[in-house]
Structure 1
């Protein structure tokens, strides 16, 4: 039996044939579509609820409050009940949902760049659990400050503390190991969740419902005045991320390559972790523990426009806002009049996505595009 050898030059040609890359969407078109969908969601959020408001009237109410002197605000075509339902109850929670989603997506993208791992996000790395412990301590204290800290301050302290612990536990021979960071985050998150459960079991009965609903995530208590703090934190984080987008790109190539182009990796990682922790702490303080947003949205953004942070971050921020605004709309309508906590809906999407992402290739999935 004669076996015909495969020509060497043919084998080399086949082995070196490059894979065809995924075609990325134009950044401008993606941002425009995302912004339009956010505006549509805002109008639908204002229209849907126990008090029926036509979408056009909901849009007119929002415009009337933003632009003084609109004639329809005083001609009797809109009732005071409709105005109150849209502007005082539905708009604040829709906007807070957008701010929370954008903040969690941005924090997830920053943490993924720090550890070069698309499986990283505030919830999985234990940062959200640390923030939840701080916020719950304030809740069980009867709403008073705990150790001189408000809920936002306590949540921030818990987020930073857990982030520091994870970073210390993940160091291997002086370097930050992505795999060890994921494992340390999962373990620390479980420990902090146990602390939260203990605090819940030992507190007064009247605090249990508040704590449980907070831990599962909700923006139902949003007011216009409660939007200021998360908006400020999001702007600060956006400015920091935009200014360090090139350094974040360099981190994806590895520490040696980043140092070769002049990036101070230790300093960049420290700044990104602190900013992400600050943002996470503020978001958790106003919306509770909402998981998987920081995991799902940045990865989808990479699939759409690539892993360059100058292109990916705007899409991730808008995508996170849209994702959580839609989730909040579903949370208050799917099982009406019962409201579903946001954390339940995001887990239904995020947990299967997390498993799919691990199966695709774990640490490098999404960074090779």
Structure 2
């Protein structure tokens, strides 16, 4: 485990540097390192590159690559946690309508209210929408006494349909000329990443990710069922609710700055379990690392296919996820 984690960290740093290097204008990796060093430690490196390259590395590509790593890690660790507490291998961060709520918040801003708080308006309303949706799901589940895994999933799906319908209504009633902006956001993209935005998803990942990692043993127990978890001293219903709220906060913070990115939380935990087994003391941290690597690579691919235009990253992750699950079903069919 330590050796594998160390190898993944090295791979993550490598793909991040590669992601900063490649693009419509290629920049050698040694120049990338020098630019980063010059900003962190002014005067430590002789400046031999142009102002344009400095801006490309520091202002455009590096925050984008870092956001990709943060979002990838967030979505992957949330997917792993939800798959445990719901005992549903197809669970992902969008299971409870979190992404639908975030999309509704973005639609309200982009098509109706405008950016009255500046560039922070869209991520702020997306986060509020994600959090409000989760509160509604938890509230409805408690009201209907549907706190077990299967009923919570059904509640989340039902609320997700309602929120999605409201989002569609918002698009229908909004300015058609701005609809393409909403569609691009709903397909996922990291092109608007800025240094000022990074602390928010990073803080959410640090706080919520720490909670999930500290409860790895509880996730192992939850995979055995509520009765077994209760026998082991874990209040299954309450723990599940807490995990849902934590996952909503983490997903909302990620989706608010990246748009809706599918399949990461669904696919990455499966890949990790194929390698290290089902122990969540390994699955959770390794899922975060592999998720970060995957999304950095996916974003790099999205930037270089038809430069200088960006393909929405949700298209790349959707294609990769679809191919992965076809292969997974074929593998399980052969094993059966």
Whether the 8 Å CA contact 1:46–1:58 is kept in 2: the answer is: yes
CA deviations over 1:267-319 (Å, ceiling 9, x no partner): 21111100100111111110001111100111111112222111111110111
Aligned counterpart, 2:30: 56
Aligned counterpart, 1:265: 236
Question: 1:339 deviation in Å?
Answer: 1.1
TM-score under structure 1 length normalisation: 0.81
Supply the RMSD in Å over aligned alpha carbons: 2.6
Question: Between Structure 1 and Structure 2, how many residues are aligned?
Answer: 329
Aligned counterpart, 2:103: 132
Question: 1:184 deviation in Å?
Answer: 5.0
Aligned counterpart, 1:21: none
Aligned counterpart, 1:112: 83
Match of 1:142 among 114, 129, 138: 114
Whether the 8 Å CA contact 1:131–1:280 is kept in 2: the answer is: no
2:119 is equivalent to residue 156 of structure 1: no
Question: 1:349 deviation in Å?
Answer: 1.4
Aligned counterpart, 2:287: 316
Whether the 8 Å CA contact 1:104–1:280 is kept in 2: the answer is: yes
Whether the 8 Å CA contact 1:170–1:181 is kept in 2: the answer is: no
Shifted more, 29-38 versus 62-71: the winner is 62-71
Aligned counterpart, 1:7: none
Question: 1:355 deviation in Å?
Answer: 5.3
Whether the 8 Å CA contact 1:34–1:319 is kept in 2: the answer is: yes
From the CA coordinates, give the structure whose radius of gyration is larger: 1
Whether the 8 Å CA contact 1:61–1:83 is kept in 2: the answer is: yes
CA deviations over 1:301-338 (Å, ceiling 9, x no partner): 11122221111111101111111111110111012122
For the residues of structure 2 that align with 1:311 and 1:347, how far apart are their CA atoms?
Answer: 26
For the residues of structure 2 that align with 1:360 and 1:131, how far apart are their CA atoms?
Answer: 35
Whether the 8 Å CA contact 1:114–1:251 is kept in 2: the answer is: yes
TM-score under structure 2 length normalisation: 0.89
Query: Structure 1 residues 194, 352: CA separation in 2 closer, same or farther (over 3 Å shift)?
Result: farther
For the residues of structure 2 that align with 1:106 and 1:150, how far apart are their CA atoms?
Answer: 27
SS at match of 1:225: coil
Aligned counterpart, 2:148: 176
Unaligned residue ranges in structure 1 (runs of 5+): 1-26, 363-369
SS at match of 2:307: coil
Which of the two has greater helix per residue?
Answer: 2
Matches within 5 A, 1:295-334: 295-334=266-305
